[in-house]
């Protein structure tokens, strides 16, 4: 694995740099979720770890908002074919949202409600990336 894919910092979990399209909906607080009316918003996942993800979005979602993210993870199987996980759906809490270039926002979210299968898929994906 190329060491540049890992983000070195003081976080609890090691983060992996990625470029994966995901979708999310804003669930709360009501004054924020009403602005998006349940709309599914597309964003780019920039990093992932066992505890959360970093994403790039066109929308500024305030810290402490709750969102539901939906995405799939990809890897190659033993025969060299690309395999994807089942779609993962995870409830997250927004930790920060910072304006970056081109009117976009870098958003950090922490996983709050993670089903065992989703956690297993994330761990498998990260272990696979580590051994590439």
* Domain total in the chain: 1
Give the CATH number of the domain where residue 63 resides.
2.40.10.220
Quick check: is 10 in a domain?
no
Quick check: is 2 in a domain?
no
pLDDT per residue, tens digit, the chain (132 aa), is 344 444 445 556 678 899 999 999 999 988 888 888 889 999 999 999 989 999 999 999 999 999 999 999 987 777 877 777 779 999 999 999 999 989 999 999 999 999 988 998 898 888 877 766
Quick check: is 22 in a domain?
yes
- Output the six-digit token pair for 73: 């993870």
Quick check: is 95 in a domain?
yes
Quick check: is 92 in a domain?
yes
- Output the six-digit token pair for 129: 């990336």
The CA distance from 54 to 44, in Å, is: 9
Quick check: is 5 in a domain?
no
Give the predicted TM-score (pTM) of the model. Answer: 0.81
Segments forming the whole domain that contains residue 60: 17-130
Quick check: is 46 in a domain?
yes
The CA distance from 129 to 17, in Å, is: 10
The CA distance from 119 to 54, in Å, is: 16
Quick check: is 26 in a domain?
yes
Specify the 3-state DSSP secondary structure of 23.
strand
The CA distance from 21 to 26, in Å, is: 17
The CA distance from 86 to 73, in Å, is: 8
């Amino acid at each position: 694995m190329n060491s540049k894919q890992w983000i070195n910092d003081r976080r609890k979990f090691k983060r992996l740099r990625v470029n994966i399209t995901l979708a999310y909906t804003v669930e709360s607080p009501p004054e924020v979720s009403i602005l998006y009316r349940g709309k599914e918003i597309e964003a780019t996942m920039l990093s992932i770890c066992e505890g959360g993800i970093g994403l790039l979005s066109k929308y500024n979602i305030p810290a402490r908002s709750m969102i539901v993210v939906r995405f799939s993870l990809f890897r190659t199987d033993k025969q060299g074919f690309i395999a994807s996980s089942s779609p993962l759906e995870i409830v997250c809490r927004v930790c920060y949202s910072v304006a970056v270039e081109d009117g976009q926002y870098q958003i950090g979210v922490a996983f709050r409600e993670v089903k065992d299968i989703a956690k297993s898929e994330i761990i498998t994906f990260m272990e696979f990336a580590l051994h590439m």
